Amino acid sequence: MVPALTSSFIYDFELPLQNIGIVDRHCCSSCESELSLLRMADNESNTSSEKEIEMSIDALASTVQESFSLSKRHKFWETQPVSQFNDLGDTSLPEGPIQQPTPLTEVKHEPYNLSAAYELVTCDLDSEEVCSEIYTLLTNHYIEDIDSLFRFDYSKEFLRWALCPPGYFRSWHVGLRVKTSKKLVAFIGGIPAKIRIRDAVVLLAEINFLCVHKKLRSRRLTPVMIKEVSRRVRMENIWQAAYTSSVVLPTPITTCQYWHRFLNPKKLIDVGFSRIDAWDTMTRYINFYKLPEQTATPGFRKMEPHDVPAVTRLLRNYLKQFVMAPDFDENEVEHWLLPKEDVMDTYVVESPESHEVTDFCSFYTVPCSVFGSQNHSILKGAFSYYNVSTKTPLVQLMSDALVVAKKKDLDVFNALHIMLNKTFFSELKFAPGEGKLNYYLYNYRLKHVLRPSEIALLPF
């Protein structure tokens, strides 16, 4: 996963959006086909705010173009069963698995070899000690913005929740330790998930939280971590995976962007997350982002365990419209959506008349460590999860989500421009961030890149 702060996020409210879409369109023919695919992938824009989004999609296409123009080789990824850049636009290739499963007896049974200094281990998240070790590794070495002003600081509760859903495999939580000191210096985590891709339901691994200690970077440990987790996934007779990254690898199935709604504009300026124009005043800026004191929707309340069946029905119905979406059952909805303190918040709308649950919205919380501010050490971000409206207008539902996020003292509300999210950005004063998030499938080819609005998968 790669959330909002993967690149320096300084959004100038008056910056003409055109500035972020500068792309050299004459690099090479494969770039051209890639660019046209990405442009086609977001050709549904017609209103002016959607036009802006389309421009930012053009900007995203430039990332992939960069990787062509640098003729960047991917020594590891070129050997893996993933779509290669050259395959793009070749619609003669079939959609579906790239390699067929091999008999389980042929899957390597022993961990990959490393230099004598390191050993690959399974991390038991039930152990307080091991969970703390993973937490410490990620807190000190996981994703930062480009200026190293912020770094994600996933809590232990969050990590347990994200890595231990129903049916999880402990063996998919792979650590790398220094043999002598036993220090944990790298981690990669996987969880099983049923994902529907068009009509096919694929049982796959979602891979996340890949992290290598800063002192051990550029030593090709990443391919080892990936090969080891792949081996362990295959041992469970699972042959596909999904993952996201800000890094461009062969080959994104879509590229999208985080948008941000400031909840605590003054703090966001203090810590360098946003900036105020010279001509503007702090008072005007703060007033601009002011939210109502109370939610507007009658019957808006926290989700409770007895809502699970209704929320599952609403969610499953909603997810049908997307090309790629999870195939959640009630157990998974209970795990992923029931409110969990400082991790996940879900609010339902229960009709005051019929008591039927008609809508819900949800967001998870990830704090960031803040560096370089004298006043603040933590920034708390809400990340939009699934939002389903059948009776309450989506904009109103999301406005209520902002109100409760603000009441919880969260500083910024982030949302990817996937699913129907872009329909509420403009009205609710979301601004586009600079970070790009690429979605990938392992051992599964799609005939076409997808539009972000066709995707309903959420990385953490």
Ligand X SMILES: CCCCCCCCCCCCCC(=O)SCCNC(=O)CCNC(=O)[C@H](O)C(C)(C)COP(=O)(O)OP(=O)(O)OC[C@H]1O[C@@H](n2cnc3c(N)ncnc32)[C@H](O)[C@@H]1OP(=O)(O)O
Spatial CB neighbours of 382, under 8 Å, sequence gap ≥ 6 = 263, 345, 363, 364, 365, 401, 405, 408, 410, 412, 413, 414
Q: Is 112 in the site for ligand X (CB under 6 A)?
A: no
Q: Is 208 in the site for ligand X (CB under 6 A)?
A: yes
Q: Which stretch binds ligand X (CB under 6 A): 28-36, 88-96, 245-253, 427-435?
A: 245-253
Query: d(Cα 242, Cα 442) in Å, to the nearest integer?
Result: 6
Q: Is 441 in the site for ligand X (CB under 6 A)?
A: no
Cα radius of gyration (the chain): 22
Q: Which stretch binds ligand X (CB under 6 A): 30-38, 116-124, 228-236, 346-354?
A: 228-236
Q: Is 257 in the site for ligand X (CB under 6 A)?
A: no
Query: d(Cα 236, Cα 426) in Å, to the nearest integer?
Result: 44
Q: Is 388 in the site for ligand X (CB under 6 A)?
A: no
When binding is defined by CB under 6 A, the residue of 193, 211, 263, 450 that contacts ligand X is 211
Query: d(Cα 407, Cα 62) in Å, to the nearest integer?
Result: 38
**Partners of residue 347 on adjacent β-strands:** 302, 361
Q: Is 438 in the site for ligand X (CB under 6 A)?
A: no
When binding is defined by CB under 6 A, the residue of 360, 363, 442, 444 that contacts ligand X is 442
Q: Smallest distance, Å, CB 164 to ligand X?
A: 17
Q: Is 346 in the site for ligand X (CB under 6 A)?
A: no
Torsion of CA 216, 222, 225, 228, to 10 degrees: -140
Helices (H), ranges, 13-127: 29-40, 48-69
How wide is the angle at C-alpha 456 spanned by C-alphas 455 and 458, nearest 5°? 115
Q: Is 60 in the site for ligand X (CB under 6 A)?
A: no
Q: Smallest distance, Å, CB 252 to ligand X?
A: 12
When binding is defined by CB under 6 A, the residue of 149, 185, 195, 241 that contacts ligand X is 241
Q: Is 134 in the site for ligand X (CB under 6 A)?
A: no
Q: Smallest distance, Å, CB 266 to ligand X?
A: 29
Beta strands in 319-430 (DSSP E): 324-326, 344-350, 357-370, 378-384, 388-389, 412-416
Q: Is 185 in the site for ligand X (CB under 6 A)?
A: no
Q: Which residue type sits at 145?
A: D
Q: Which stretch binds ligand X (CB under 6 A): 26-34, 200-208, 260-268, 419-427?
A: 200-208
DSSP code, position 377: S
Residues near ligand X, by CB under 6 A: 1-2, 74-77, 141-143, 205, 207-212, 217-223, 226, 229-230, 233-234, 239, 241, 243, 245, 247, 249, 442-443
